[in-house]
Amino acid sequence: MKHKVSPEVEVQAMKMAKGTQKMGQTKDQTKLIAQGIEKGIAEYKKQQGKKLREIDKQRKQRIKQRDNESTETVESASNHNPMKALPWILLGLSWLGFTAYIVL
């Protein structure tokens, strides 16, 4: 299976091959060297793509863990909050005070 490479990579590989060309080297040999360079560039890009995907997966897992931990923390904090009844107590006291003011 031949890897498809961009024209820019082909031009870059040919420049590199011509830059390292030895005296007496034929055009076919230079072309083979350029193909080897193209293959190396394609392999490098493939490896970098794999690394980036792996890093992205790890980043997403960390974000997911952080979200899960923060929701657990919020849930546990809201369940153990003794101040939960305070607004209702204050509302009841205010109504009692209002009723006492009206009656007296």
Report if residue 64 sits inside a domain.
yes
Instruction: Report the distance separating Cα 88 and Cα 102, nearest Å.
Output: 21
In the numeric block, the tokens 């153990």 are attached to: 80
C-beta separation of 41 from 9 below 8 A: yes
Residue 18: inside a domain, yes or no? yes
Task: Decide if 2 is inside a domain.
Answer: no
| pTM for this entry | 0.52
Domain that holds residue 64: 7-103
Confirm whether 30 is domain-assigned. Answer: yes
* 42 part of a folded domain: yes
76/56 Cα distance (integer angstroms):
30
pLDDT 10s digits, 38-74: 999 889 999 999 999 999 999 999 998 888 887 776 6
Domain contains 84:
yes
Q: Could you tell me if residue 1 is inside a domain?
A: no
